[in-house]
Amino acid sequence: MYSIKEIYKTIQGEGAQAGSAAVFVRFSGCNLWSGREKHREKAVCKFCDTDFVGTNGINGGNYSAAALFQRISDIWGTSNNKLIVFTGGEPMLQLDEKLIKACKIHGFKTAIETNGTIPINFQVDWVCVSPKEGSELVVKSGNELKVVYPQLGQNLKELESLKFDHFFLQPMDGDQGRKNTDQTIQYCLENPAWKLSIQQHKLIGMP
């Protein structure tokens, strides 16, 4: 069974696939933070702004592989260019080859957004890794590396040596959002190996 916080169709707002329609499947749970405010200060990832606790979101629940795929398919509808984005929390705590195969058999392109601390031992069409300073990065290749910026102590030059097709910096949201955005823009201007990623879905009012 898979514990799912929410499933919804939206426009991908970040990274190289920004602007694409996709069904987002948000798994419950993460290995870098419990998701509860009382644990944030001691968490590895202290800046997460996503609710991934429990199964009480839209279309949330505990699903078998067959039931989960059916719900995804129903939400997508009958149009082509099928895309599923598995996210979290940390999707690799639950995502497995059985679910990926079910999606691929029915013509869906599969994507994952992961913190990169758990190996991916099956084929996913699009791998986006968002490393968190203080964690051990084990997924060192993929389609895009998307770094929330700034993170104290993070060595971006070292990350540039990894085997990714795209390198994105995304301004950290929150009270310092404007300042972080300015710093991110400046870093990209001075280091063109990196491209700016903004959370477009927030700007257009989509989940």
- pLDDT of the chain, 207 residues: tens digit per residue: 999 999 999 999 999 999 999 999 999 999 999 999 999 999 999 999 999 999 999 999 999 999 999 999 999 999 999 999 999 999 999 999 999 999 999 999 999 999 999 999 999 999 999 999 999 999 999 999 999 999 999 999 999 999 999 999 999 998 898 999 999 999 999 999 999 999 888 888 888
pTM score of the predicted model: 0.96
The structural domain count of the chain equals 1
Which residues are marked as active site?
24, 30, 45, 48-50, 113, 201
Q: Cα(108)–Cα(83) distance, rounded to whole angstroms?
A: 5
Instruction: Give the distance, in angstroms, between the CA of residue 46 and the centroid of all CA atoms in the same chain.
Output: 16
| Phi-psi group of 26: left, alpha or beta (phi > 0 → left; psi -120 to 50 → alpha; rest → beta) | beta
d(CA 152, CA 101): 39
* φ, ψ of residue 92 in degrees (nearest 5): -70, -5
CATH number, domain at 15? Answer: 3.20.20.70
The boundaries of the domain holding residue 175 are 2-203
How far, CA to CA in Å, does 86 sit from each of 37, 115, 193?
Answer: 24, 12, 26
